[in-house]
Structure 1
Amino acid sequence: MQRFEGRVALVTAGAQGIGAAVVRRIAAEGGSVVITDLQEDKIAELAAELGDQAIGVRTDVMSRDDVNAAVAKAVERFGRLDVVVNNAGGCIVTSVPEDTTDEDWHRQLDLTLVGASRCIQAALPHLVESRGNVVTISSVNGLAAFGNIEYSAAKAGQIAMTLNYAARYGDLGVRFNVVAPGTIRTPNWDSHPEALETLSQLYPLGRVGEPEDIAAAVAFLASEDASWITGQTLPVEGGVLTGPAPLVLSTSGPFAKKY
């Protein structure tokens, strides 16, 4: 499929993990991609891999100047902007809730929630022109109680923000949707492979997700196949929101319930 032929996407935190999988998927379907990230070496490697289809721009989504410059470079290089994928974010608060400071809250919200809004604001005039769309990568943490209160609140905020943008700009033809991943095998887990194996047993489908699972969902929502879908959150989470896997309720295994 060439669903993105003639279209241009900007992907934040696009140099590795979920972001890189999204970049490769859009490029594989004919799109041009602007890769933004803080890791200049990884940006350069991925941009070189994709050739003329991609450029890399070092961007901190907590800097409005950086975000504005990245959008400007996208339009300067490719002449338009059709898709923004808000992938930047992360759990940067590690203290227990009772010890979380105001500064901790500000940093978490600035990266994950306000950063996504900065990207939307910068891109919006171009998205109105192209009748484009935004896909924001949230988390199951924004839909259910999985801990990490500050991170979860920021992810839930992304969902509420998306609903409001979708309602406000739908009559201009701009769509806004969310993908909410469960546990995904990204480089953040490289030093904890045993944790992924343990977590996989919590998922009814028997495994954690791969970055390509999320990229496939993003590509659908960002394409014309989803032209009548806006304001929605698509969980891509191996069934974890449906309840514990059968193994968790069995009488054997690491999560066995003892009867």
Structure 2
Amino acid sequence: MSADFAGKTIAITGAAGGIGQGLCRFFGAQGATIGAIDRSDAVLELAAALQADGISIQAAVADIASPDTARAAISTFGDVHILINNAGLSRHATIAKTDPAGWEEDISVNLNGAYNCAHAVLPQMVERQGGAIVNVGSVNGLQALGDPAYSAAKAGMIAMTKALALEYGRYNIRTNIVLPGTVRTPLWDARKAKDPDVLKTLERWYPLGRIVEPDEVARVIAFLASDAASAVTGAAIPVDCGLTAGNIVMTREITLEDF
């Protein structure tokens, strides 16, 4: 159990998703009290299951795209020492398939929702003169990889992270963002039903030859939220098995080397 998280309340958005469930279990096992937020009722089932495992967790069903709803959900958890903005949504693969309503939906959930939750917790963090916010972005925020509305929102999260770090550092509030690549979550089960080799195809693009596991994302978030990262703020850290290090497929073809 980590002394950094024991006795602290950690609010986690998108808690019912693949990465979110992993985060709840990870930090719950570290002795934290979890404030789990999701717009799906599945978050209630998750909370019941984790409570049965001895984890301290409260759940709130809320659409964080609404500022008032996000604020109300956060307020039910009392003192929030760490906020993990993990909620995310992508339903539009290309610009051509993205209408204005779809664009607005992806921006609202991914970017505005993260802002709304940060806005809700900042006053109490300022009053305590301390806190940590870790945003869960994506490598899509760095380069064009499809899902343009989602990608634009994730790029906006990077800019928001740096702005928060600049303005609130004087209150000992640190804000960082992790940028996962492809993560092994239930989302990919549906994709594999259509194409059983989809992950094998994707793995060619990753220098480590594999995709990311949810607990690998959780461990980097835990570092950024912990006292071990006391001098780290405004950082954007890829957790991507090397995807953003370079184009390994193109490099192999140019050099004709298999490495």
TM-score by length of 1: 0.89
Superposition deviation, residue 244 in structure 1 = 3.2
- Return the alpha-carbon distance in structure 1 between the equivalents of residues 250 and 213 of structure 2: 21
**Matching residue of 2:116:** 118
- Return the alpha-carbon distance in structure 2 between the equivalents of residues 114 and 235 of structure 1: 22
Aligned to 1:221, which of 219, 224, 235?
Answer: 224
State which drifts further: 108-117 or 184-193.
184-193
- Does 2:38 match 1:37? yes
Structure 1 residues not aligned, in runs of 5+: none
1:105/1:150 contact within 8 Å kept: yes
Superposition deviation, residue 105 in structure 1 = 2.1
The structure-2 alpha-carbon separation of the partners of 1:148 and 1:111, relative to structure 1 and needing over 3 Å to count, comes to same
Superposition deviation, residue 37 in structure 1 = 0.9
- Does 2:23 match 1:22? yes
The structure-2 alpha-carbon separation of the partners of 1:54 and 1:134, relative to structure 1 and needing over 3 Å to count, comes to same
**Matching residue of 1:245:** 248
**Matching residue of 2:81:** 82
2:206/2:243 contact within 8 Å kept: yes
2:22/2:214 contact within 8 Å kept: yes
Q: SS in structure 2 opposite 1:97?
A: coil
- Does 2:154 match 1:151? no
Question: What amino acid is the match of 1:164?
Answer: A
- Return the alpha-carbon distance in structure 2 between the equivalents of residues 147 and 16 of structure 1: 21
Q: SS in structure 1 opposite 2:6?
A: coil
Question: What amino acid is the match of 1:13?
Answer: G
Structure 2 residues not aligned, in runs of 5+: none
Encode CA deviations 1:33-65: one digit per residue, 9 max, x unaligned. Answer: 111112223432344323451111111111222
**Matching residue of 2:208:** 205
Superposition deviation, residue 29 in structure 1 = 1.3
1:36/1:43 contact within 8 Å kept: no
- Return the alpha-carbon distance in structure 1 between the equivalents of residues 216 and 231 of structure 2: 22
Aligned to 1:53, which of 39, 47, 56?
Answer: 56
- Return the alpha-carbon distance in structure 2 between the equivalents of residues 125 and 137 of structure 1: 21
